[in-house]
Chains A and B, each alone.
Chain A
Amino acid sequence: MSDVVIRAEGLGKQYRLGEIGTGTLSHDLNRWWARVRGRPDPLVKVTETGRSFRKNRMPDLDSASCEDTVWALKEVSFEVRKGEALGIIGRNGAGKSTLLKILSRITAPTTGRVKINGRIASLLEVGTGFHPELTGRENLFLNGAILGMTRAETAAKFDEIVDFSGCERFIDTPVKRYSSGMYVRLAFAVAAHLEPEILIVDEVLAVGDGEFQKKCLGKMQDVAGHGRTVLFVSHNMSAVSKLCNRGLLLQNGTVLFGGEIASAISCYTDQGRKIPSRLEYEDMHQAPGDHIARLKSVELLDGEGRAVSLIDIRKPVTVEIKYWHLDHRECPTAILHFKDELNNTLLATNEFNAKEWKDVHRAAGLITARCHVPGNLFAEGRIIVLLAINSYNPSMSHVYEDDAISFEVVDHSVGDGVRGPVTGPWPGLMRPWLNWETQRA
């Protein structure tokens, strides 16, 4: 038997737009009665030209017309192998939730099929089905059963679950008296002790404090590490890249990319504000610039000189700019601004910091300028690079590319980064490594 545990073939899901049905029984009965007598539909408005259209754009129940429907997913095919952690990513409305709903059997697909091998548990939310009047103990069993555990399985893990939640003292108190933190902890403890072969997780990580997120992530890494399969949907690229080894990028209901997680994330990043991770102009005459300088290319290189779009927060990276220097009397110089997603300029740097070029008139030709960005400088997230080529005395701007390239910084650090062992949110727009000195006074 192959080790494919999920195979989706040509999956599609169609939703009707507007109101579902006609809302009331009487309308449908009216329509049915008219059909029985062979009369035209009484709820169809007929225009003077004889063209008919539905009142309030209500969908025709008999022949779902194309204008009133939307495909939330279309022709989605993919495979997941045993032990893989698949990150499902995409912008809002890309179809992630719909795919998740189909996989967790909340709704059926309109076309295609999914074949699944193994027990599935989906965690679209923690604490589903908790009853406020019941005690922690009762809810624990009930929630376990809803998530697919038998009574015996829950009982066997009872102590472990209670221990994990840290709610021992309140286990026989109705959960309506719990603080919201305790409530979430207990709920997550149950979910964490599920032992499915396939675990589907939605953005539960988005709720709860740092401590909780850490526990949640750790537990999921555990699951993935034990040869079981995890499907994880999130907007948090950092969490996705930490947890998953493969990615499925959805766009408008179709698969845009499926494969290595790093490529999937860079694909996702590029797709966003349409800012690529590299920019290149083949033809000098088409390139932005003037008679003094024209931009050829700008790209991001890692330590080994490979083009990248996703960088580890600890690793240095190089921004390489190539431009044509066309007039030897002028002294153009490249400028980089690193900005965050909210367009805050984090820092600006200028090629004239390179000693070899400072105030030296160089010969015209193709120039390659490299800016070495050390590791442990930016905070995690997306960095957008503004590129300009200017010359001074007199000041002139030759090239100005506001959103030239962008890249994603992810934090994979395991105690060796700026954040040390802390896994919660780390404040600051930048995350430089500063030298500390301590001594006994």
Chain B
Amino acid sequence: MKPIEKQVPESEAWSLILRPDAGWWDLHLGDLWRYRDLVTLFVRRDFIAQFKQTVLGPAWFVLQPLLTTAMFTVVFGNIARISTDGLPKILFYLPGNILWGCFAGCLSSTSDTFIANAYLFGKVYFPRLSVPVSVTLSQLLKLGLQFLFFLPFLAYYSITETGIRLTWAAALLPALVLILAALSLGTGLLISSMTTKYRDLRFLVQFGIQLAMYTTTVIYPLGAIQGGKARYFILANPMTPVIETFRYGFLGKGVFSWWHLGYSALVAALLLLVGTVVFTRVERTFMDTV
């Protein structure tokens, strides 16, 4: 079925060529940049639409992690008496909840990209990546708000309690955010590409995110895990070093290691790369299968 190639003089500059077999590295990132206004508008839409006709509005952003933290404090702290590394329970659980909440939110909404937007994608072309990218950005914005909310708690406890100190590792915050974003976006892209064919993955994702939280150090300190195998298992989750570094930076407790963080960064970069490549490949024809 090979079409006869007509020799066209190269002097003809085409602004766009549509062909069946685009290269693996043809990612159209330039297109994404050209549609940057669309990305910001998507972010705005997500923000505005989420809280229209709600009484508390954006307060829900901080209420979510706060209520989860309160629950963890009661269940894991007071009832199960899991160590919090000598930190006040709220201060221990809150950062973990915020970071994991951001990761989970990002992953679950990006992994639904194709199915949730099938109708829109079937009607008009725009760089498909702009949807997951904008979702990630709005999750990061939310993370920023929650971080600001975390600061008064930090200030209060550093006055009333001893042993809480800011370390130099707090300066790694931008890197942590980047790793988190790349991890969730990359995984989300991969999963969304696969869900066009395997719908069952959607259920797996919702369920898997909940389970995966227990393999990070959201509810226990890494220092408390001394058994070799369990420790490796927990460290294998690339979100663990992110949470640990955050705790080490802002609270002075936790395990910090360049190796751990480097591993997270590497996994994040790889996932993002593979996710983007696969996503770009799938987006070309997913309308035929979805």
- Enumerate chain A interface residues (CB-CB to B < 8 A): 1-2, 7, 9-10, 12, 15-16, 20-21, 23-26, 28, 75, 101-120, 122, 124-125, 128-129, 131, 133-134, 138, 141-142, 145-148, 150-151, 174
Contacts and interface: CB of A to CB of B under 8 A. Distances in A.
B41 A145 contact: yes
B41 A151 contact: yes
B18 A20 contact: no
B124 A124 contact: yes
Given A107-B288, A115-B17, A117-B14, A142 B1 contact: no
Contact of A108 (B20, B37, B48): B20
Interface residues of B, number: 46
Contact of B289 (A1, A20, A111, A148): A20
Contact of B126 (A116, A133, A146, A174): A146
21 contacts: A21-B197, A23-B199, A24-B199, A24-B200, A101-B287, A102-B18, A106-B125, A107-B287, A109-B19, A109-B20, A111-B1, A113-B20, A115-B12, A115-B14, A116-B15, A124-B124, A131-B45, A145-B35, A145-B126, A146-B38, A151-B40
B143 to A, nearest CB: 23
Contacts of A131: 45, 49
Interface of B: 1-4, 6, 8, 11-20, 22, 35, 37-38, 40-42, 44-45, 48-49, 52-53, 120-126, 197-201, 284-285, 287-289
Contact of A115 (B16, B122, B124, B285): B16
Given A112-B20, A117-B14, A120-B16, A105 B41 contact: no
A21 B41 contact: no
Given A108-B285, A122-B124, A20 B41 contact: no
A75 B1 CA distance: 9
B201 to A, nearest CB: 7
Given A116-B14, A116-B17, A145-B35, A107 B284 contact: yes
A1 B20 contact: no
B216 to A, nearest CB: 25
Contacts of A16: 288
Q: Which residue among A21, A101, A105 has the maximum number of chain B CB atoms within 10 Å of its CB?
A: A105
Nearest to A149: B37
Contacts of A102: 18
The 7 closest A-B pairs by CB, nearest first: A10-B3, A105-B125, A145-B38, A108-B284, A151-B37, A113-B19, A115-B14
Given A110-B1, A146-B120, A151-B41, 8 more contacts: A9-B3, A112-B20, A113-B3, A117-B13, A134-B45, A134-B48, A142-B38, A147-B124
Given A15-B288, A148-B35, A148-B126, A174 B52 contact: yes
B22 A108 contact: yes
B interface: dominant SS: loop
Contact of A12 (B1, B45, B126, B199): B1
Nearest to B284: A108
Contacts of A103: 18
A218 B176 CA distance: 55
B16 A108 contact: no
A133 B49 contact: yes
B200 A25 contact: yes
Nearest to B13: A1
Given A138-B48, A145-B38, A146-B126, A117 B287 contact: no
Given A105-B18, A145-B41, A150-B37, A134 B49 contact: yes
Nearest to A12: B1
Nearest to B200: A25
A106 B287 contact: yes
Nearest to B19: A113
B288 A129 contact: no
Contacts of A25: 198, 200-201
A20 B125 contact: no
Nearest to A29: B198
Nearest to A21: B197
B290 to A, nearest CB: 9
Contacts of A134: 45, 48-49
A115 B3 CA distance: 14
Contacts of B199: 23-24
B16 A112 contact: no
Contacts of A28: 198
Contacts of B3: 9-10, 12, 75, 111-113
A28 B199 CA distance: 13
Contact of B18 (A15, A21, A113, A119): A113
Contacts of A124: 123-124
A125 B14 CA distance: 27
A101 B124 CA distance: 9
A151 B52 CA distance: 23
B11 to A, nearest CB: 7
Contacts of B126: 145-146, 148
A138 B20 contact: no
A110 B150 CA distance: 53
A104 B287 CA distance: 13
Nearest to B51: A133
Contacts of A101: 287
A114 B122 contact: no
A198 B125 CA distance: 14
B41 A141 contact: yes
B29 to A, nearest CB: 16
Contacts of B285: 107-108
Q: Which residue among A28, A116, A146 has the maximum number of chain B CB atoms within 10 Å of its CB?
A: A146
A129 B18 contact: no
Contacts of A129: 120, 124
Contacts of A1: 11-13
A129 B126 CA distance: 12
A105 B125 CA distance: 6
B277 to A, nearest CB: 16
B47 to A, nearest CB: 11
B49 A109 contact: no
